[in-house]
Structure 1
C-alpha cells in the first residue's frame, strides 16, 4: 500500500516539476520576445562583466589609450603655442643673453649706431682695456619685454657673459633701451667700485635720457663711454649734458610798448580825421570859386 502511494506520488511530483519548468521556460521566452530579459540573467551578465579579468583589462587599456590621446593633444596644443612666432623683442633678449660676449665689445641690437660711431667705440673700448685693465661692453636694445627693468636685464647679461666672479670682476656693461629712452650701467665689484655711484647716476639720468630724447643715440653712448673712460683712467669726470630749458615767457607787451603803440594809433586816427574833414572842404570851396568865375 505504501509502495503504491509512493509510486502514485512520484508522477504527481514529476508533473509539478515539469509544470514549473515549463512555466519558467515560457516566462523566459516571453521575456526574450518582449525585449526584457529575465532579471536573474541580467544580474548574471552584470556580474560577469564585473568579475571577468579580460573585460576589466580591456576597459583599463581603453581608458589608458584615451588618457594618452588627451595628453598628446594637450602636448600638441602647447607645442603650437611654443612654436608660434615669438615677439622680436623677446627673441632679441634671449639672443643677447645666450650669445657669448662680443669680441668687439658692442651689440647694437637696436641698430642705432652708425658705422663711424661703431668704429670710434671699438677703439675707445680697446684703449680702455689696454690702459686700465677694465673691460666695458656696450649693448643697445629696441625694447625690453621679458625683463623690462634695464638694470635687471643688464645684470643678466653680465652674469651670462661672465659667469664667474673672476671673469666679471673688472667688467662693466652699458645698456641703452631706445624705446624707453633709458639706460643702465652695471659691472663687477672692481669695476663698480672704481666708477662710483655718482657717475652711474649721472650717466643714467643725464647722458642717456637727455640725448636719446633728442634721438641722439650715437652721442648718448659715446659721451657715456667718455665719462666711464675718464674715471677708469683716473681723470676728472667731464660731466653730462644739460637739458635745454624752453623759454616760458609770455607774448604780452610791456607798459611802455603799449603806451607807444597807443600814441602811434592815436596819431594815425587824428591824421585820418583831419584828411577826411579838410579834403571835402577844399573840394567844396574849389567848386564854389570855380562857379563864380
Structure 2
C-alpha cells in the first residue's frame, strides 16, 4: 500500500467513524428526548383554592380571546356561586400516565385537603389524544351529579374535538354548560350530534404530523445505526484484502 493510499485509507476510516458516532448520538437523543416533551405534574404551576387562575393552556391550543373569555366566565361563576372551575390543556403525557390519573394527581396537588377540594372542579384535556377527564369536589355533587360531570368531559368537550379538533369551541361549550348547572339552571345537555357523511380528510393534523415525523426519524436513525457498522466492517475487510 502506497503512502497516499494509506492516508486515504486512514481518512476514510476516520470519516466513517465520525459519521457512525454522530448517527448513534442523534439516535440516542431522539429516543431519549421523545418522552421529555411530555407534560409532567411538576411542570404545572402552583395553585390553591381561591387562586385567580382558571384556564391553563399548556398545549397552546386556545386563542388568547378564548382563554380570556373562559377566565372571565369562570371567575364570575366563582364569585356568584363559590364553585371554582379550573380548565387545563396539556400536550402529552408520560407513557405510564393516563389523563384520569394526571387529573386526580393534579387535583390532589392543588387541593390537598377535603376542605380545599369540596367546591372545586378540574377539567383536563390531552391535546395529543383528545382524551379528557374531570374531577369534582363533594360539595359540587349537590348541584352537579357525577353523570353530568362525565357527560361534560366526554360529550360536551369530546364532540367538537371529534368534529375537527375544535379546542376553543369545546371548552367554551363546556364552560356554558358548567355555568348553567352550577348556577342552579336547567342542564342544557350535551351537543346534538348529526350524522353527516364526512369527506375523507386529505391532510394530517398537527398531532399526526408530529407523530409521523418522529417515527420516521427514529426508524431511519435506527436503521443507519445498524447498517453503517456493517458497511464499515465489510469496507475494512475489502481494504485489507
Q: What's the TM-score, normalizing by structure 1?
A: 0.52
Aligned to 1:240: 190
Aligned residue pair count: 165
User: Is residue 100 from structure 1 mapped to residue 47 from structure 2 by the alignment?
Assistant: yes
> Structure 1 residues 147, 233: closer, same or farther in 2, change over 3 A?
farther
Tell me which of 98, 108, 111 is aligned to 1:149: 98
Contact 2:39 2:93 in 1 (8 A): no
State the match for 2:128 in structure 1: 179
Residue in structure 2 matched with residue 90 of structure 1 by the alignment = 38
Please list every run of 5 or more consecutive structure 2 residues that lacks an aligned counterpart in the other structure.
1-31, 199-241
Tell me whether 1:212 sits opposite 2:178 in the alignment: no
> 1:165 deviation in Å?
1.1
Separation in 2, partners of 1:193, 1:147: 33
Supply the distance in 1 between the matched residues of 2:128 and 2:33 (Cα, whole angstroms).
Answer: 21
Match of residue 80 from structure 2: 131
Matches within 5 A, 1:101-120: 101=48, 103-120=52-69
Change (3 A) 1:202 1:145: same
**What residue number does 2:115 align with?**
166
- Cα pair distance change 1:91/1:139, threshold 3 Å: closer
1:201 to 134, 138, 150: 150
Distance in 2, matches of 1:211 and 1:133, equals 28
The answer on whether the counterparts of 2:41 and 2:106 sit within 8 Å (CA) in structure 1 is no
Asked if the contact 1:186/1:192 (under 8 Å) is kept, the reply is: no
- How far has the Cα of 1:198 moved from its partner? 2.6
RMSD: 2.3
> Which stretch of the first structure deviates more once superposed, 100-109 or 164-173?
100-109
Structure 1 position 154, deviation (Å): 0.8
| CA–CA separation in structure 2 for the residues paired with 1:193 and 1:143 | 33
Q: 1:243 to 1:130 in 2, by over 3 A?
A: same
Could you tell me how far apart the structure 1 residues matched to 2:148 and 2:96 are? Answer: 24
Greater radius of gyration (CA): 1
Higher relative contact order (CA 8 A, sep 6+): 2
Q: 1:162 to 1:88 in 2, by over 3 A?
A: same
Instruction: Supply the distance in 2 between the matched residues of 1:172 and 1:114 (Cα, whole angstroms).
Output: 22
Any conservation in 2 of the 1:206–1:240 contact (CA below 8 Å)? yes
- Other-structure match for 1:221: 171
Q: Counterparts of 1:86 and 1:164 in 2: how far apart (Å)?
A: 35
Counterpart for residue 72 of structure 1: none
Q: CA deviation at 1:201?
A: 2.6
Structure 2 counterpart SS, 1:87: helix
Q: CA deviation at 1:247?
A: 4.2
Alpha-carbon separation, structure 1, partners of 2:127 and 2:33: 23
